[in-house]
């Protein structure tokens, strides 16, 4: 049986239309999911939407529609966006799904019956836009540490999750699983800023708004945010029912999350799972943010476009490639249209597109498109042949470490080598000598094999381009099992394929 791999994105708030920042996480999750599928894993890739809460209730009121109507429209658009970005999710969970709804109620009741949830009174500081409670010591200059806005003092009857009880177990988890949180800097932040100072019990219900899942044994309360949101990762698989999906896919292998929600995924989520006696996810990766001009991407600042505009103008793989390649995974990075154009021209057009088109054109021109390995090697080939042979191992290693941008850079290193190989071997001058046709064919074959191997890996990152390359080479797509099965004979026909990327004019 194939090994399983369960990967998730956060479930996004459909309080406004999605922007390039949401695309960032989802594209990365998609590339990892595709990579694992190509490697033969039975992958379950989940994304979705986190639809409850005061913010959405308020937005819907402002728009004069019901909360459900409000979110339905955004989700329709989000699904369209994911389709235009070639996002290959296996399951899209909505927290308004009936299954999720009833399963969350059961989970809440189980925790209550076990004494891990109790009724008390909440007195504290609350940030409405972030839907987060804060302690005095967490505030920065008296304001919400996440968004910098005012917090309000509130008192209300509420249910609490006994988070404090799990302090020691969490410390042990961090100790025994050093790679539970990546990058390591985020782990230290969690430990030093949140766990070591002492965990407080967590407010998990609200009475001040209605748009949420009611506590079924105390209907005045709605289940508030984290027990509703975080449990999406298990309710989608059927939990608390013992479904085959749950047995197969849980625990998750990787929760990909933005740095601002690492805390919830590495403190609250494991504690809830411990309380439910469930195994913990293997890893939570907290990535950085895409920023615009150094600041947050924000609807109110009006500093972003619908990502579909970029896709329509530059193509889906220009956007995917930018998200995957531009920023070291884990750090913040700047997004701008001009950086997107520069990256597309430099890598996709000049390195990849040119190489594929030059190689295919030469194969057609000199051999009518029929190329076999004539094994007429020279010392000059060594570097390219070795690099082709090593490519998958090197990329695998980077992917295991979730160094996505470096994985791509290694593939592009090989493509750069191919371009240099053309410059060094100068096929057009070999072609002048009739006696050297076998050598010329070998050079082209070496190039085509390097392109094929690269395209096999590129399927995870820029799948539609990789498909075009396979179509241009007139071969079936490879997966990782047959990546090193050499193509016995390329038969391209005599029609020159369209360019993979057109150069974009820089303003
Ligand atoms: N609903 C919660 C998550 C619950 S998960 C159980 C939430 N939603 S959110 O809509 O605010 O989106 C959060 C995620 O979107 C971030 O964690 C991050 O993955 C992604 N991003 C949103 N803006 C982003 C950037 N500007 N840059 C990169 N990622 C961004 O928090």
pLDDT in tens, 148-181: 999 988 888 999 999 999 999 999 999 999 999 9
Does a structural domain hold residue 182? no
Q: How far apart are CA 285 and CA 183, in angstroms?
A: 7
Tell how far the Cα of 85 is from the centroid of ligand 1, in angstroms: 17
Sheet holding 181-182, edge to edge: 91-94, 42-49, 4-12, 254-258, 284-287, 181-182
Give residue 1's pLDDT.
65
Q: Residues 6 or more apart from 383 whose CB is under 8 A from it?
A: 417, 421
**DSSP one-letter string for 184-205:** HHHHHHIIIIIITT-PPPEE-E
Give the count of domains, the chain.
Answer: 1
Does a structural domain hold residue 25? no
Give Cα separations from 391 to 172, 310, 379 (angstroms). 38, 31, 20
Does a structural domain hold residue 206? no
Tell how far the Cα of 25 is from the centroid of ligand 1, in angstroms: 8
Longest dimension (CA), the chain: 90
Does a structural domain hold residue 23? no
Closest protein CA for atom 16 of ligand 1: 258
Closest protein CA for atom 7 of ligand 1: 12
Give residue 304's pLDDT.
79
> Among 25, 262, 319, which is best to mutate for testing ligand 1, by the most ligand atoms less than 8 A from CB?
25
Residue predicted with more confidence, 134 or 78: 78
**How far, rounded to the nearest angstrom, does the alpha carbon of residue 330 sit from its chain's CA centroid?**
12
> Among 7, 8, 10, which is best to mutate for testing ligand 1, by the most ligand atoms less than 8 A from CB?
10
Q: Minimal CA–CA distance to 227: which of 98, 104, 142?
A: 104
pLDDT at 88 over 70: yes
Tell how far the Cα of 12 is from the centroid of ligand 1, in angstroms: 6
Does a structural domain hold residue 5? no
Paired tokens of 307 = 């990502």
Does a structural domain hold residue 17? no
Tell how far the Cα of 10 is from the centroid of ligand 1, in angstroms: 6
Angle at 24 between CA 19 and CA 29, to 5 degrees: 130
Tell me the angle at which helices 67-84 and 20-38 cross, rounded to the nearest 10 degrees.
50
Q: For residue 25, which atom of ligand 1 is closest to its CA?
A: 19
Sign of CA dihedral 397, 331, 310, 498: negative
Does a structural domain hold residue 382? yes
Range of the domain at 432: 340-491
Sign of CA dihedral 109, 113, 116, 117: positive
**Residue 448, domain CATH:** 1.10.730.10
Q: Is pTM, for the whole model, over 0.85?
A: yes
pLDDT digits (tens, 9 = 90+) for 235-284: 999 999 999 999 999 999 999 999 999 999 999 999 999 999 999 999 99
Closest protein CA for atom 26 of ligand 1: 21
Does a structural domain hold residue 414? yes
Q: How far apart are CA 332 and CA 345, in angstroms?
A: 23
Closest protein CA for atom 2 of ligand 1: 12
Give the model's confidence band at 130: pLDDT under 50 very low, under 70 low, under 90 confident, else very high: confident
pLDDT at 361 over 80: yes
């Amino acid at each position: 049986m194939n090994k399983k791999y369960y990967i998730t994105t956060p479930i996004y708030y459909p309080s406004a239309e999605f922007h390039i920042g949401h695309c960032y996480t989802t594209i990365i999750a998609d590339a990892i999911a595709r990579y694992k599928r190509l490697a033969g894993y039975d992958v379950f890739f989940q994304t979705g939407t986190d639809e409850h809460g005061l913010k959405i209730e308020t937005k819907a009121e402002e728009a004069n529609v019901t909360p459900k109507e409000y979110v339905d429209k955004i989700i329709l658009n989000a699904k369209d966006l994911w389709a235009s970005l070639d996002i290959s999710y296996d399951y899209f969970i909505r927290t308004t799904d009936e299954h999720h709804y009833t399963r969350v109620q059961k989970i809440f009741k189980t925790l209550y019956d076990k004494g891990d949830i109790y009724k008390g009174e909440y007195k504290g500081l609350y940030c409405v836009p972030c839907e987060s409670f804060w302690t005095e010591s967490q505030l920065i200059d008296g304001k919400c540490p996440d968004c910098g806005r005012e917090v309000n003092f509130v008192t209300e009857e509420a249910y609490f999750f006994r988070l404090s009880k799990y302090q020691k177990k969490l410390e042990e988890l961090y100790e025994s699983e050093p790679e539970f949180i990546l990058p390591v800097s985020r782990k230290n932040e969690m430990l030093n800023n949140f766990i070591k100072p002492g965990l407080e019990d967590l407010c998990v219900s609200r009475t001040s708004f209605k748009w949420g899942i009611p506590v079924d044994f105390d209907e005045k309360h709605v289940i508030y945010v984290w027990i509703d949101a975080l449990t999406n990762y298990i309710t989608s698989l059927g939990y608390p029912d013992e479904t085959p999906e749950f047995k197969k896919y849980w625990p998750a292998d990787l929760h990909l999350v933005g740095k601002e929600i690492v805390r919830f995924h590495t403190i609250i989520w494991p504690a809830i799972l411990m309380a439910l006696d469930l195994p913990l996810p293997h890893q939570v990766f907290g990535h950085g943010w895409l920023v615009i001009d150094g600041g947050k991407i924000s609807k109110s600042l009006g500093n972003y476009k619908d990502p579909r505009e970029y896709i329509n103008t530059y193509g889906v793989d220009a956007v995917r490639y930018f998200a995957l390649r531009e920023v070291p995974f884990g750090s913040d990075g700047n997004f701008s249209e001009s950086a997107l154009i520069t990256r597309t021209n430099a890598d996709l057009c000049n390195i990849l597109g040119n190489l594929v088109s030059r190689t295919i054109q030469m194969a057609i021109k000199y051999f009518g498109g029929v190329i076999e390995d004539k094994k007429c090697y020279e010392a000059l080939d060594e570097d390219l042949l070795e690099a082709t042979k090593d490519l998958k191992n090197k990329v695998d290693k980077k992917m295991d470490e979730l160094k996505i941008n470096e994985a791509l850079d290694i593939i592009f290193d090989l493509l750069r080598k191919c371009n240099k190989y053309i410059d060094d071997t100068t096929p057009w001058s070999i072609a002048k000598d009739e006696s050297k046709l076998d050598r010329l064919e070998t050079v082209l074959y070496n190039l085509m094999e390097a392109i094929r191997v690269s395209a096999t890996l590129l399927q995870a990152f820029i799948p539609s381009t990789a498909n075009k390359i396979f179509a241009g080479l007139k071969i079936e797509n490879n997966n990782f099992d047959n990546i090193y099965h050499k193509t016995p004979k390329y038969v391209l026909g005599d029609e020159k394929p369209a360019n993979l990327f057109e150069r974009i004019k820089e303003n």
